[in-house]
Structure 1
Amino acid sequence: MTAAEIRLSVAIMHHPRRRERIPPLVRDCAPLTARVVTDPDPDGVPSPLRTAKVAWRAVADGATHHLVLQDDIRLIRSFATQVHHAIAARPEHGISLYSHWDSPQNSYLVRRAVIAGWPFAPLSLFEWTPTQGFVLPVRVARELADYLAGIPDDVKDDDEMVVMFCREAGIPVVGTVPHLVDHRFDPTIVGHPGRFHATVFLPAPVLSPTYWQFSTSAEEALARRCRSDEKLPYTVQLHRSRCLLRPLRPGSGEPVEHGFGWYWADHCGLVGLTVSQVVDGFDRLLGVTGLPSGLPWRLALEVWAAGYLLGADAVTVRRGEADGVGPPAAVGAGLAQAAMTSWITSGLAEPDAAGLTVERRAALVAIGLAGVSQGWLGGWQEAS
């Protein structure tokens, strides 16, 4: 299917509390025509699910695909063009246009795809599907509407229901890299705690006409992490200024939000790395660049370790690709810097974040990216 063959229906989930957001959001969708779907009971108990039920029914006549947006987002420049190209590349998939920057699984799966240099990231079958912007083929969108209709509104979270539907229906879900929408720093209607931001967002990305082409072998390699095809599926997390490994146990019923992770230095051997590989590379970096004044050694090492583990993991996706040994294309496009910046900003403990100047934060991003490059090269050499 080509982009010209896509006929996209758009619905915006809206709560009257955010009425000022609608005119600019509708304008930014142009030339797409967006239908605004207002919460049918705005004074009732807050429930995105209640509005999602209506939005997934609001399919325009003649559409091939249906996109549901939420009203607390902003869009990239040339949104309509890029979303058409993305759908044309994966017309039978569910496509998330966003992932939350510190979600336990999907944010790492997106960062892994960024560093591997691919425009889509297969998402978790068990973590909530990001629904700030979500596309489905029309047939599937209507099936989702039927599925949601039988769920009580007091369940509230539509994203938890969407992942269940897609898993049960066998609908593969991918996230766009970069994301095409970002979350505004607004309180959620339901009142979820924390800050909300995209994992990898560039307001005006420069993407070639062929950017969204995607190797099926790469998609399969990335998707194995979402299933149980690997001996030890895992993600890497920066949490309260510590680098952690989080083993995934698909289908075990273990909550994806659990707060338990394995400290990287104690368990990196399980993923084929040694502490000395990681630390020696860090020491070599400091021997060349030194440690920026006022930047704690402890913090710099944790960010380096996260980057190193990410790079060593991402290179496994490129093995067998002709250009696998070269630097990932996404690094040159600025996506890796965006992904690392959001990782650090979301992953630092509050006292550490408060003590960072703009210059020290930029130095941390550079250290993390240097770790990615070193881990990538080390992983490639190990495989060779």
Structure 2
Amino acid sequence: MTVVPISSAVMTHPVRERQAQELVSRLRLGGLALDPAPHDPPSALRTALVAWSAVSPGAGHHLVVQDDVSAPPDLLALVGRAVERFPDEALVFYTNWHARNGSASRLAALAGAAWVRAVPEEFTPSLAVCLPVALAAEFGAFARDSAERHDDEVLSGFFRTKGRMSLLAVPNVVEHIGTSSINGHAAQGIRLAVCPMDATDADGLLRRGWVLEELDWLPYMRYGEGYLRLPGQEKAADGGRGHIRWRDALPAIARSSQLTEERVRDLVAEHMPLGLATDVARTFGPDFAEELWVHCLFMGRQAAGAAHRHAPQNAAGPADVVDEDALARLKEAAVSTVGPAGLSPERRPEAGPEKIRLMTEFAWTAIRAGERLWQDAPDG
């Protein structure tokens, strides 16, 4: 196996310097990238520019990790094997459970994919990102004069200019810790990985699993309500950042999906399990229970379609077979986060282990119904 030289840095602020240094020591990373102006208004980009410029001589790739994460001791080795497979890609090793990219990762997991192309209009999850050093230098030049303070937004802006968004690792071995935010994200509440996985399982999947490049329409949830991202939405006047409720989006996909609001209502009446729905509604309300079930119905349908259309074309190689048990665990991990991630931030602390198990069981009933829906009436 080729050894890919990777340098690394942990971006941090002096108030977290001790925490960051412990992370460097535990993961054997290159060193700290400290905020150069810690007394100025918060700016993740200011620190990110330091981190992305801290490339070691001779390195072919550079990994930047933020200070508020946990990760396995062999993270660098896992990243190195991913870089060997995708030497020219921007690789992202953590994705938020509540974002559009989180839903893309969750859908990819259900389709059986190990990587998914990020959506163009959303921020790039920047807790653990690896770039080829030439691309890192280009990003530094692109971002140097930006007035934006969020590095995740500027990363996406940069990738859009390149015409190629990052590849998201569907199994996440990097996890966000804490809810505080130097850069103003605390209002988003509990923010965790979309598909948390053991490093051994994740490594095998990332080395051999296929890549989901095309998402078609994408269901996602935010603040307890379901939405659909439409194909080509990034070309809209607002850059695609607007949110379209699923009822309003259905007419745009009715011909290809054979779904109408009336049809969805019929499916809810026919297949949503009343007992589980009542149990979810008891804590989080009937509206949330129904929105979650409809969202998972859409997700199951789209995952089944994506697997049918794309899986045979994107395998790592004919001799590479993923561990089916690991893949099953990935799917379970993905579905386990759909309930709490779909809640509004102030309600997420109510989702303890029992509530998560309940929402996961409930979500699976909708996913299975969605899979059957696609099998009965696949897209043309």
> Pick from 74, 82, 87: which aligns with 2:70?
74
TM-score, structure 1 length as denominator?
0.82
Letter in 2 for 1:67: L
Provide the rounded CA distance (Å) in 1 between the counterparts of 2:349 and 2:7: 44
> Pick from 204, 224, 238: which aligns with 2:214?
224
> Pick from 56, 78, 84: which aligns with 2:80?
84
Q: Which residue is 2:114 aligned to?
A: 119
Q: Which runs of 5 or more residues in structure 1 are unaligned?
A: 226-232
Provide the rounded CA distance (Å) in 1 between the counterparts of 2:249 and 2:127: 36
Q: Which runs of 5 or more residues in structure 2 are unaligned?
A: 315-322
Q: 1:186 to 1:223 in 2, by over 3 A?
A: same
Provide the rounded CA distance (Å) in 2 between the counterparts of 1:242 and 1:28: 39
Cα offset for 1:379? 1.0
Q: Which residue is 1:228 aligned to?
A: none
Q: Which residue is 2:290 aligned to?
A: 301
Q: 2:188·2:345 contact (CA, 8 Å) conserved in 1?
A: no
| 1:5 pairs with 2:23 | no
- Summarize the alignment of residues 144-293 of structure 1 with structure 2, pairs less than 5 Å apart: 144-151=139-146, 154-192=147-185, 193-195=187-189, 196-202=191-197, 204=199, 206-207=201-202, 209=204, 211-215=206-210, 219=211, 222-225=212-215, 233-247=216-230, 249-263=233-247, 269=254, 271-274=257-260, 275-276=262-263, 279-280=266-267, 283-284=270-271, 286=273, 292=279
Q: Secondary structure at the match of 1:5?
A: coil
| 1:18 pairs with 2:8 | no
Provide the rounded CA distance (Å) in 2 between the counterparts of 1:8 and 1:357: 39
Which stretch of the first structure deviates more once superposed, 293-302 or 38-47?
A: 293-302
Provide the rounded CA distance (Å) in 2 between the counterparts of 1:357 and 1:98: 22
Q: Deviations over 1:52-93 (max 9, x none)?
A: 112111111111111111111211453223212222221110
Q: 1:349 to 1:36 in 2, by over 3 A?
A: closer
Q: 2:234·2:241 contact (CA, 8 Å) conserved in 1?
A: no
TM-score, structure 2 length as denominator?
0.83
Cα offset for 1:331? 7.9
Q: 1:89·1:214 contact (CA, 8 Å) conserved in 2?
A: no
Q: Deviations over 1:223-266 (max 9, x none)?
A: 333xxxxxxx5321223333232435222241554354233896
Q: 1:246 to 1:237 in 2, by over 3 A?
A: same
Provide the rounded CA distance (Å) in 2 between the counterparts of 1:288 and 1:259: 31
Q: Deviations over 1:86-144 (max 9, x none)?
A: 222211100111222222x2122111111111111100222111211111111211221
Q: Secondary structure at the match of 1:317?
A: helix
Q: 2:277·2:362 contact (CA, 8 Å) conserved in 1?
A: no
Q: Secondary structure at the match of 1:206?
A: helix
Q: 1:47 to 1:213 in 2, by over 3 A?
A: same
Q: Which residue is 1:311 aligned to?
A: 300
Q: 1:28·1:79 contact (CA, 8 Å) conserved in 2?
A: no
Q: Deviations over 1:344-383 (max 9, x none)?
A: 2122246865766643431111111221122123213323
Q: 1:12·1:55 contact (CA, 8 Å) conserved in 2?
A: yes
| 1:134 pairs with 2:129 | yes
The sequence identity of aligned pairs, in percent, is 23
Q: 1:322 to 1:202 in 2, by over 3 A?
A: closer
Q: Secondary structure at the match of 2:62?
A: strand
Letter in 1 for 2:238: E
Provide the rounded CA distance (Å) in 1 between the counterparts of 2:224 and 2:202: 33
Provide the rounded CA distance (Å) in 1 between the counterparts of 2:205 and 2:213: 22
RMSD (CA atoms): 3.2
Q: 1:72·1:186 contact (CA, 8 Å) conserved in 2?
A: no
Which stretch of the first structure deviates more once superposed, 270-279 or 302-311?
A: 270-279
Which structure is higher in helix share? 2
Q: 1:134 to 1:351 in 2, by over 3 A?
A: closer
